[in-house]
């Protein structure tokens, strides 16, 4: 009887969130720019909307993490991951917005998944850009493969996985521990290859992350798309589901 009473008292004393399974949003963006009529409009988010979304996170007590701090998700208030794929030059806008919002209490960070062989193209971030951003402490530069192929259709993945990792690490001087699957395509074989070089694999499976205890689940992390048409109310709803 005494044991039952103790258990009940412990449950009452715990906050409601501690009893519920933790849900962690991992958001995916591509271009942070005005839509210029080229490409898919929904893959753009205007700088104005991106800033409104980041201000929402700041005002509502979110902690923006990168994958180097994965183990902090159970230690910080409202953990969330901001990821941007492809390494477009316009991602400089996201970096500048995070810089502007940073203060003594709010220390925003984001992860840029770059295609290593495309670094320095006219519409992509340069080595100088990425090195500066990595050194700022705001941006973690990670891999989106070397040439952005569908990995499930390749036999030899070493160049795409190992080659891109080594090139980015040499450029930034920092570890590359996460890979975003091109087109969100993956299978078990690809996952096992990714595991040789990375701790984390990022899909485009639309869900919040919850720990399920499945084997290799960190290699198949879900992400929530933030689109051109996503308004602030929808943004709040997506991350609070």
What confidence category does residue 232 fall into, taking pLDDT thresholds of 50, 70 and 90?
very high
What confidence category does residue 83 fall into, taking pLDDT thresholds of 50, 70 and 90?
very high
Buried b (16+ CB within 10 A) or exposed e, 87-101: bbebbebbbebbeeb
pLDDT by residue (tens digit) across 115-133?
999 999 999 999 999 999 9
pLDDT in the model for residue 110: 98
Distances (CA, A) of 232 to 46, 112, 238: 12, 23, 10
Torsion on CA atoms 185, 188, 190, 193, rounded to nearest 10: 150
pLDDT, averaged across the chain: 93
Name the one residue in this structure whose structure tokens are 């952005």: 148
What confidence category does residue 241 fall into, taking pLDDT thresholds of 50, 70 and 90?
confident
CA–CA separation, 241 and 239 (whole Å): 6
Residue 17: is its pLDDT beyond 60? no
This prediction has a pTM of 0.91
What confidence category does residue 21 fall into, taking pLDDT thresholds of 50, 70 and 90?
confident
The answer to whether the beta carbons of residues 143 and 198 sit under 8 Å apart is yes
The answer to whether the beta carbons of residues 205 and 224 sit under 8 Å apart is no
Residue 8: is its pLDDT beyond 60? no
Give the domains, in start order, of the chain with CATH numbers.
24-239 (3.20.20.370)
Please provide the DSSP assignment of 124-184 as one string: B--HHHHHHHHHHTSEEEEES-SS---GGG-S--HIIIIIHHHHHHHHHSS---EEEPGGG
pLDDT by residue (tens digit) across 171-216?
999 999 999 999 999 999 999 999 999 999 999 999 999 999 999 9
Name the one residue in this structure whose structure tokens are 């449950």: 11
pLDDT in the model for residue 1: 47
Crossing angle between the packed helical segments 232-239 and 47-59, to the nearest 10 degrees: 50
What confidence category does residue 25 fall into, taking pLDDT thresholds of 50, 70 and 90?
very high
CA–CA separation, 189 and 161 (whole Å): 13
What percentage of residues in the chain have a pLDDT greater than 70? 92
Summarize the confidence of residues 72-96 as an average pLDDT.
Answer: 98
Residue 80: is its pLDDT beyond 90? yes
What are the start-end ranges of the E strands in the chain?
26-29, 31-32, 44-45, 63-65, 79-85, 110-114, 139-143, 178-180, 200-202, 224-225
């Amino acid at each position: 009887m005494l044991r039952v009473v103790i258990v009940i008292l412990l449950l009452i004393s715990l906050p409601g969130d501690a009893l519920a399974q933790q849900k962690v949003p991992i958001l995916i963006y591509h271009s942070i720019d005005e839509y210029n009529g080229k490409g898919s409009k929904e893959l753009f988010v205007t700088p104005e909307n991106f800033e409104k979304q980041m201000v929402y996170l700041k005002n509502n007590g979110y902690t923006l993490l990168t994958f180097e701090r994965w183990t902090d998700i159970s230690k910080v208030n409202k953990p969330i991951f901001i990821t941007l794929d492809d390494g477009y030059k316009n991602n400089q806008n996201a970096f500048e917005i995070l810089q502007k919002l940073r203060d003594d209490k709010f220390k925003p960070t984001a992860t840029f998944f770059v295609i290593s062989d495309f670094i320095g193209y006219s519409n992509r971030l340069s080595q100088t850009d990425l090195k500066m951003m990595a050194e700022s402490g705001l941006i973690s530069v990670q891999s989106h493969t070397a040439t952005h192929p569908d990995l499930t259709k390749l036999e030899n993945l070493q160049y795409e996985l190992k080659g891109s990792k080594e090139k980015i690490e040499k450029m930034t001087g920092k570890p590359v521990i996460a890979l975003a699957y091109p087109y969100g395509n993956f299978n078990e074989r690809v996952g096992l290859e990714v595991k040789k070089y990375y701790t984390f694999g990022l899909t485009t499976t639309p869900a919040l992350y919850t720990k399920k205890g499945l084997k290799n689940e960190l290699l198949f992390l879900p992400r929530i798309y933030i689109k051109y048409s996503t308004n602030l109310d929808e943004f709040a709803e997506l991350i609070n589901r």
